[in-house]
Amino acid sequence: MSKEQHFVSTEHFNCTHFDGDLYANTQLRERALNAAIVRAEISEGFEDYLAIFEAFYSDDIEVSDETANEPIHGKARVRTLLANFLYPIHVMAEIGGLLVTIRQTTIAGDVSAETHSAWTLEFVGTSGKTCILSWRVLRKWDGSRVVYEYHYDEQQSGGPLTLADFSFNPVTPAARPRRPS
């Protein structure tokens, strides 16, 4: 089964299409990346997120957060970390009825090849229990690729969801709360 990609890739961002304004070009790429992340549906699969990562991130990506002892270097290592994070969420959403919503807000900045954004990831179990994760991201761009990503100001509200918050009954499909419009 083939699944159509629903995001804008960096192929649309050949630098010859821009007016030479590095700040504007970086902001445009950032908006495309963030829109692709927000539009992807984890309940349908996690592969779209990996395809977005492949399209927008440099082979030499460096990722870190305020709790890490040292940054993670290289696309292969970051891809593995990303897949290990996304796969269980996909299974809980597809099979267990978990509703997953991600939102992004741009944070204004004034450095031409850097972008900042705030993210909120909301998990709602079939029980109605909610866990919300939020964080901020600093990205550094080199042309059309992210070369550095730093996560900070990480917060959680609501406790972790447990098995009681999911519906894994194979006879009765999970009642899925509706995603807000």
Domain limits of the chain?
13-165
pLDDT recorded at residue 5: 46
Strands 57-65 and 145-157: parallel
Q: Is the pLDDT of residue 133 over 70?
A: yes
- Among 99-103, 160-164, 170-174, name the most confident range: 99-103
| CATH number of this structure's domain 13-165 | 3.10.450.50
Q: Is the pLDDT of residue 157 over 70?
A: yes
Summarize the chain as % helix, strand, coil (round to 5). Answer: 30, 30, 35
Q: CA torsion sign, 143 to 66 to 136 to 33?
A: positive
Distance between CA atoms of residues 7 and 39, nearest Å: 8
Task: Report the predicted TM-score, pTM, of the whole model to 2 decimal places.
Answer: 0.82
Is residue 42 within 8 Å of 179, Cβ to Cβ?
Answer: no
